[in-house]
Amino acid sequence: MQSVKKSEIITLRVTPRIKKIIQEQAKAAGLTVTDYLCYSGLGKEIVRVNGLEQVLTELKAQGRNLNQLTTLANMGKVSVVYGDKLAESYQQISEQIRQLLREVSNGPPQRA
């Protein structure tokens, strides 16, 4: 959640089973129990995207390879067919993944 000082306390009673379920769901979402319950109580959808960091790392590695290929093509050492289209498509995919990562990093989105 946002870094606003939390000064109010809400106390509730649940069964041990419900408490365990809430704790497990919060952990699975990568949230504290407090944040999990706040998001849930405010009707916000909790989205957890596993593996996005690895995808971005791989995309960066592919980008470096593409840059090396572009350098070789500019030196005339290799010829690349549709290289401009490839680079443009790569840039679009890269930006879409970065946008998704920003959205996920900023917390769960509002429900529509």
Q: Give the residue extent of every domain in the chain.
A: 1-46, 52-105
Q: Which residues contact 111 (CB under 8 A, 6 or more apart)?
A: 43, 44, 45
Counting residues of the chain whose pLDDT is more than 70, the rounded percentage is: 87
Q: Is the pLDDT of residue 54 over 90?
A: no
Q: What is the pTM of this model?
A: 0.46
Report residue 110's pLDDT band, with 50, 70 and 90 as the boundaries. very low
The lowest-confidence range among 2-6, 19-23, 32-36, 57-61 is 2-6
Q: Are 73 and 80 in contact (CB under 8 A)?
A: yes
Cβ partners under 8 Å of residue 63, min gap 6: 90, 94
Find all residues with CB under 8 Å of 37, minimum gap 6, and list them: 22, 26
